[in-house]
Structure 1
Amino acid sequence: MTSHVSEYEKQRLENIRQNREMLMSLNLIGDDTSSILAESENANRKRKITVKNKAKPRTRRAADDQISDDDDEWSGIKRQRRADQPARRSRRLRGESAEPTTAAEEQVVETGDVSGVLADAESHFPASTLESAIRVNGHYSGWVEPGVQQRLHLESNATAAWESQGGGKFSFKDPLGTGKRVSKRTVPSGQSVAKYVASKLLKKNPNAYFYRHTEPGVEQWTGDWTEDERLTFIRVAKEFGCGDKWGLFSTYIPHRVGYQCSNYYRQYVIPSGWIIDDNYRIDSTGHAVYVGKHKRGS
């Protein structure tokens, strides 16, 4: 039996035997060495059987064959499904023109209101609100606030300002109208492209400048508007109108810029009924919806 025991196991059993002899000499245990050898042999045999019966790893080729079979079966199912279903084609592929987006559809995207109801001012606001409201046509007819114009030495109108600074053709890619794209390589060292363009726009296109910037040296305010600012907004709208050229409009309201005036107009002024602008409708949630480019109708 011991002929099948490994060298390591023989050494281990020898160590056990010596330890047991020492313990027996001290009368601490009895002589049952044979049972220990038998137990060790059984344990060794079990280890050999476990290694022999261990499953062989699956070869890559066998795995690929199985995957290939599964893919073929699934491909057949998909082909059958496609044959049973009609082909879907977009309007463009069918050669049809897309239907124009309606004001109600844009309203759903902008405000989340799915009722489809857009009310004009007369049907939305009470008579008392309509009586005190200012009516505008969506256009601002003024220029830069006179005090700001004098301090910054600006021209008296948009055409004169543009031509006095070199003229050219305006575009959003070329806001200065120079015919050349402004990049970091063309601006003075240490100055960003945005600041460089803004510094040039101040005298050439004040509306574009004041849309995002206050008068140089004046802090821009954020947060809720004060009552004085609201009253100033209403006064300027009553005198010059409003609805576009928000950069120029904002020069009458220190510490505010054009986009702030535009947001305030749409989010607070129109929904509150302080100003009536036929380019806007009110949805069922009380939000202002721009319909100026659509056929007006509720």
Structure 2
Amino acid sequence: MMTSDLDRERAARMRRNEEMLATIGVTKALTEVLHHREGGGDGPRASRQAPSSKRGRVKAVEPIRKSQRLVVAGTAQHAEEGEPEEPATTSGRGVGMTQEQYLASKGLPLPAGHFRTDGCFLGWVQKDVAARHGICSSAAEAWEQGGGGSFSRKIRKADVPTELKAKGWSDARAFAAGQLRKNPNAFFYRHTAPGEEQAQGAWTDAEHELFVATARQHGVGDKWGLFASYIPNRVGYQCSAYYKQFIIPSGLILDARFRLDAWGDAIFSGPK
């Protein structure tokens, strides 16, 4: 019985890997390395599909290891920063491969169109979103017009709106809801733009292409709230999870801060 369960889990894991590789355009390589692959994607779609649409969706990136979980995770500069990454404890997981080494271990090349990042997002809130919601044109201006003060990652109970806590939200989410104009990075990390429904589950091809285009233009790897303002219906922690669970293992964007274990899990190992 135990062997049967392990076989089923292994088969399910291989199936997910094959689906993932098929999503970024390296399907042909699967015939050479039939048993533990990951994959590519369809071309860009002309228009973004509504969150409820099932058509043209990139499979939700599931971890290759069953136990892996989605990470949901005093100055204007600090206010721009995203959720801090800490190097993970990786004992016993065989972590240490670069993205190139990981793909090579599966007999796969880097995907066409791959590029490198230094792990920094250099943009601000997407201009149409900023104009629509009265967000200032820079972090410093937004911080000062929002009341200024010293920046702290610690959220005081007094700063959490009671009416939002009553919704059952965490302190972090309730606090972030009031930061749209002062600290939009904090707001968009946990909230979509006002009036937008948050998409759940699988990413569409259009979302994938928009993610990659945004990364090419503005950089990628931190300030996930600001980054998410370019992806309608997605929030920062979803973009961060998509990056780690799909983009990094695929090799589409090379980020030297990450290493991969034999299962294809991306582990943050710190600045390089």
Distance 2:95 2:268 in 1: 13
Instruction: Answer yes or no: is 1:173 the counterpart of 2:159.
Output: no
Instruction: Answer yes or no: is 1:274 the counterpart of 2:257.
Output: no
1:222 to 186, 200, 206: 200
Instruction: Answer yes or no: is 1:249 the counterpart of 2:237.
Output: no
- The CA deviation at 1:174 is 4.3
Q: Which of 1 and 2 has higher RCO (CA within 8 Å, sep 6+)?
A: 2
Distance 1:236 1:119 in 2: 26
Kept in 2, the 8 Å contact 1:173–1:181? The answer is: no
Distance 2:226 2:248 in 1: 20
Q: Structure 2: which amino acid aligns with 1:107?
A: T
The equivalent of 2:215 in structure 1 is: 237
The equivalent of 1:106 in structure 2 is: 89
Distance 2:247 2:130 in 1: 27
Q: Structure 2: which amino acid aligns with 1:182?
A: D
Distance 2:260 2:187 in 1: 31
Secondary structure at 1:200 match in 2: coil
Kept in 2, the 8 Å contact 1:280–1:290? The answer is: yes
Counting matched residue pairs gives 179
1:132 to 103, 107, 113: 113
- The CA deviation at 1:271 is 0.7
Secondary structure at 1:249 match in 2: helix
- The CA deviation at 1:173 is 2.8
Instruction: Answer yes or no: is 1:160 the counterpart of 2:164.
Output: no
- The CA deviation at 1:225 is 0.5
- The CA deviation at 1:106 is 1.1
Under a length normalisation based on structure 1, what TM-score does the superposition of the two structures give? 0.55
Q: Structure 1: which amino acid aligns with 2:151?
A: F
The 5 A counterparts of 1:280-295 are 280-293=258-271
- The CA deviation at 1:285 is 1.2
- The CA deviation at 1:172 is 2.5
The equivalent of 2:80 in structure 1 is: none
- The CA deviation at 1:198 is 3.6
Distance 1:183 1:118 in 2: 41
- The CA deviation at 1:274 is 1.2
User: Kindly tell me: are residues 233 and 284 of structure 1, through their superposed partners in 2, closer, same or farther at Cα, counting changes over 3 Å?
Assistant: same
1:12-39 C-alpha deviation (Å, 9 max, x unpaired): xxxxxxxxxxxxxxxxxxxxxxxxxxxx
User: Kindly tell me: are residues 144 and 254 of structure 1, through their superposed partners in 2, closer, same or farther at Cα, counting changes over 3 Å?
Assistant: same
1:72-102 C-alpha deviation (Å, 9 max, x unpaired): xxxxxxxxxxxxxxxxxxxxxxxxxxxxxxx
Q: Structure 2: which amino acid aligns with 1:287?
A: D
- Gap regions ≥5 residues in structure 2: 1-86
2:178 to 173, 177, 200: 200
2:159 to 162, 165, 182: 182
1:231-274 C-alpha deviation (Å, 9 max, x unpaired): 11111111111111000000110000000000111111101111
Give the superposed CA RMSD: 2.6
Distance 1:183 1:250 in 2: 23
1:109-166 C-alpha deviation (Å, 9 max, x unpaired): xxxxx25341112322357416521210111000001110110111111111001111
The 5 A counterparts of 1:86-97 are none
User: Kindly tell me: are residues 282 and 146 of structure 1, through their superposed partners in 2, closer, same or farther at Cα, counting changes over 3 Å?
Assistant: same
The equivalent of 2:94 in structure 1 is: 116
Point out the more displaced range, 165-174 or 225-234. 165-174
User: Kindly tell me: are residues 121 and 192 of structure 1, through their superposed partners in 2, closer, same or farther at Cα, counting changes over 3 Å?
Assistant: closer
The equivalent of 1:263 in structure 2 is: 241
1:176-227 C-alpha deviation (Å, 9 max, x unpaired): xxxx93256xx6xx55485763443000000000000000010001001111
Q: Structure 2: which amino acid aligns with 1:145?
A: Q
Identity percentage over the alignment?
43
User: Kindly tell me: are residues 124 and 169 of structure 1, through their superposed partners in 2, closer, same or farther at Cα, counting changes over 3 Å?
Assistant: same
Distance 2:267 2:234 in 1: 23
Secondary structure at 1:292 match in 2: coil
